[in-house]
Structure 1
Amino acid sequence: MPTTKRCGTETAGNKAIGGVPTLHYFDFQSRGRGQVLRLMWEDAGIAYEDVRYSFKEYPDYKKTRIAELNPTTNIPVVELNGRILTQSYAILRHFARQLGRYEGETEEEKYWADAMCDIVIDWRSLFIQAFFADNMEETYPEHQRTARPRFLQALETHLKTHDLSASGPYITGKNITYADMVLYQICHDENLVQEGRKGLKDCPRLAELVNAVEERPNVKAFLQSDRYLG
């Protein structure tokens, strides 16, 4: 059976989005696209129900409960007041608009956050393809040697040279966006933020962004809590 845990207490953030959302996602430690939703909710002080499916039990639920919620049978899926929300990045942008934050203030900021998010989407697709391949012991090391450094270099360059990003610490400057959480999460999932940022030793600007995300008060408290699973 999937595990369900209530996280946090209701705040003005819950009122802004219309209630307490329920997240359906893998029991995959604190990793993956579903984790980015948790990061946003934790940062915004939003209470939520966290439903986690083990990889072993998920195939059965994929054909039943998840298929009822989402015809593509993909997760994360969010339930909120009878509504079903799918597609993780669309969900993030949806909540950003409802909260009036995390999206960027000007049209240029919104564009740049979306553009950087799209780069990370391309990176994550290759990461997932390599990490979950049947011959992962071959495909993932190859990914680490080739695709990953290419994306790291591109993102580092963008963060250093774009007019908005250069002012730091976030993608659009001083205000965090959903895209910062998306970027943080792929670095986390590729084990680049652990061990004193060892994996980001050649990317100081990206390391600055990672540090800024982790130092946000609610995120810091979350990472030090039993809700954070590594």
Structure 2
Amino acid sequence: MPSTKQYGTAGPANEAIGGIPTIHYLDFASRGRGQVVRLMWEDAGIAYTDVRYSFEEYPDSKKTVIAEKNPTTNVPVVEINGKILTQSYAMLRHFARQLGEYDGKTEEEKYWADAMCDIAVDWRTQFVNAFFHPQKEETYPKHQQTERVRFLNAFETHLTRHELSRPGPYVLGPTVTYADLVLYQVLHDENLTQEGMKGLQDYPRLRQLADAVERRPNVKAFRESERYLG
């Protein structure tokens, strides 16, 4: 059976999104596309129910309970107020609109947050393909030396040069967005934020962004809690 735990106390942010959401995801430590949804909820002060499936039980659950909720059988799946939400980045944009935060105010700001998120999604696709490849011992080191470096350089350039990002620390300067959380999660999952962010020593602007995300009060409390699994 999957583990089920409830976190937080419902407040105004839960009212804004229509209730207390339940997330179905793999028991995958603090990694992956489900984790970035949790990260937004934690930052926004949203109470939620966390249902985690072990890697051993997930194949059977995927054919039954997950398939009933999502025809593609992909996770994360979120249930809230009788509705089913799928596709993690669409969820983030949805919650951002409901909260009136996390995606900028002007159309130009919204576009830039969306664009930076899409680049991070492209990076994650390359990372996942290499990391979970049957020949991981060959594909992942190659990815680290090629595609990962390409994306790191691209983000460092965008964050340094774009007029909206240049002031820092976030994609939209002083205002955090869902794109910052998405980018942070990719950096984390590629083991670039661990050990004092040693992996970002050659990318000062990216390190500034990652450090700013980790220093956010609710994120800091989350990372220091028992529910954050490294």
TM-score band w.r.t. shorter chain: over 0.9
- Is the counterpart of residue 15 in structure 1 residue 33 in structure 2? no
Structure-1 separation of matches of 2:58 and 2:25: 9
- Which residue does 2:173 correspond to in 1? 173
- Which residue does 1:153 correspond to in 2? 153
TM-score relative to the length of structure 1 = 0.99
Structure-2 separation of matches of 1:183 and 1:3: 28
- Aligned pairs for 1:193-208 (under 5 A) are 193-208=193-208
- Which residue does 2:84 correspond to in 1? 84
Shift of 1:196: 1.1
Flag as ranges the 4+ runs of structure 1 deviating above 6 A: none
5+ long unaligned stretches in structure 1:
none
5+ long unaligned stretches in structure 2:
none
- Which residue does 1:71 correspond to in 2? 71
Shift of 1:137: 1.1
Output one character per residue of 1:130-154: Cα deviation in whole Å (capped at 9) or x when no partner.
Answer: 1111111111111101100000000
- Is the counterpart of residue 102 in structure 1 residue 118 in structure 2? no
AA at the equivalent of 1:210 = A
Structure-1 separation of matches of 2:126 and 2:92: 21
Structure-2 separation of matches of 1:135 and 1:165: 38
Per the alignment, in what secondary structure is the counterpart of residue 25 of structure 2?
strand
AA at the equivalent of 1:97 = R
- Which residue does 2:223 correspond to in 1? 223
AA at the equivalent of 1:141 = P
Structure-2 separation of matches of 1:81 and 1:10: 14
TM-score relative to the length of structure 2 = 0.99
AA at the equivalent of 2:39 = L
Per the alignment, in what secondary structure is the counterpart of residue 85 of structure 1?
strand
AA at the equivalent of 2:26 = F
Per the alignment, in what secondary structure is the counterpart of residue 46 of structure 1?
coil
Output one character per residue of 1:157-193: Cα deviation in whole Å (capped at 9) or x when no partner.
Answer: 0000000000111001111000000000000000000
Instruction: Count the aligned residue pairs.
Output: 230
